Amino acid sequence: MGSLNFRLDGKIALVTGASRGIGRGLAQHLAAAGATVIAAGRDASALESLAREGGDGTGVIEPLLLDVKSVANIRRAFSVIDGKYGRLDVLVNNAGLGYNHDALDVTEEDWDEMMSVNLKGVFFCSQEAAKLMMRQGKGRIIQMSSQAGIVGIERHAAYSASKGGVNMLTKVLALEWAPYGITVNAIAPTFIYTPGTAERLDQPEFRESVVSRIPVARVGTIEDVAAAVLYLASDAAGLVNGTVLVVDGGWTAR
């Protein structure tokens, strides 16, 4: 019987939206698993701080400025990665926007910004990553989706549309790129407690309304998401392709 390996020693991993929240935590956990992590985002100061903190493991964290709304910026960033490392083993498309609007209140600007980051950015980062991964004959692409891309949630029309798009994009890319040794999967979390979500989740009434819809009776943690990312990034997940791994405590099982 072969041994299962969840380590990422020697791997080069890129995490977008790594300045704060889930992305920051994912960068730290990937580094702790042994990867060299390129932490990408728009906040240079936050990325430098993250790089100094590292990941409490054998891996390291390197900062990289990246605005996923700009295809030109994406291509420049991947050119930097190619020039410095010559490869990319794992892409975690974590950068995303999440805010609530009644459907009647969504403006064209709201819609365009949401799609630009949550869907356009995911696609073009995946495209650039695939070019590097095809050259080396293998790679892992992991998209950050949401339970809101699977079931309807009130006041999330634009957000749900963007994440539903991510889910279908994941399936198509998985089919097209599997012959090149690349797997493409998505993770769909429930409400995750982060510094950014704390303001709402610390309100007892809101938290109770959320937890009441989660059968395991708690909101998620960054570690819950990181566990799924580490699995999909590892050699152990070689046969997992084109799936949306739901990390929601059973919300979408109802």
Q: What is the pLDDT of residues 158-201, one digit of tens each?
A: 999 999 999 999 999 999 999 999 999 999 999 999 999 999 99
Asked whether residue 126 carries a pLDDT value surpassing 80, the answer given is yes
179 alpha carbon, distance to own chain's centre: 23
**pLDDT on residue 100:** 87
**pLDDT on residue 98:** 87
Instruction: Summarize the confidence of residues 3-17 as an average pLDDT.
Output: 93
Do residues 7 and 90 lie in contact, with contact meaning Cβ atoms separated by under 8 Å? Answer: no
Identify the helix (H) or strand (E) that includes residue 143: strand 139-144
Three-state DSSP state, 193: coil
Least confident of 31-40, 50-59, 214-223, 229-238: 50-59
> Which of 94, 184, 171 has the alpha carbon at shortest distance from 139?
184
User: How far apart, in whole angstroms, are the C-alpha atoms of residue 238 and residue 160?
Assistant: 29
Three-state DSSP state, 63: strand
As a whole number, the mean pLDDT across the chain is 96
**pLDDT on residue 5:** 85
Residue 120's identity, in one-letter code, is: K
Cβ-Cβ contacts under 8 Å for 56 (sequence gap 6 or more): 28, 31, 32
Q: Reply yes or no on whether 193 is catalytic.
A: no
**pLDDT on residue 136:** 97
Instruction: Summarize the confidence of residues 115-133 as an average pLDDT.
Output: 98
Give alpha helix (H) positions in the chain. Answer: 21-32, 44-53, 71-85, 108-115, 121-136, 157-177, 198-201, 204-211, 222-233
In the chain, % of residues over pLDDT 90: 93
Candidates 85, 99, 159, 193; catalytic one? 159
Do residues 248 and 216 lie in contact, with contact meaning Cβ atoms separated by under 8 Å? Answer: no
Q: Could you tell me which CATH number the domain at 12-244 has?
A: 3.40.50.720
Give the start-to-end residue ranges of the domains of the chain: 12-244
Q: What is the pLDDT of residues 29-87, one digit of tens each?
A: 999 999 999 999 999 999 999 999 876 667 899 999 999 999 999 999 999 999 999 99
User: How far apart, in whole angstroms, are the C-alpha atoms of residue 80 and residue 88?
Assistant: 11
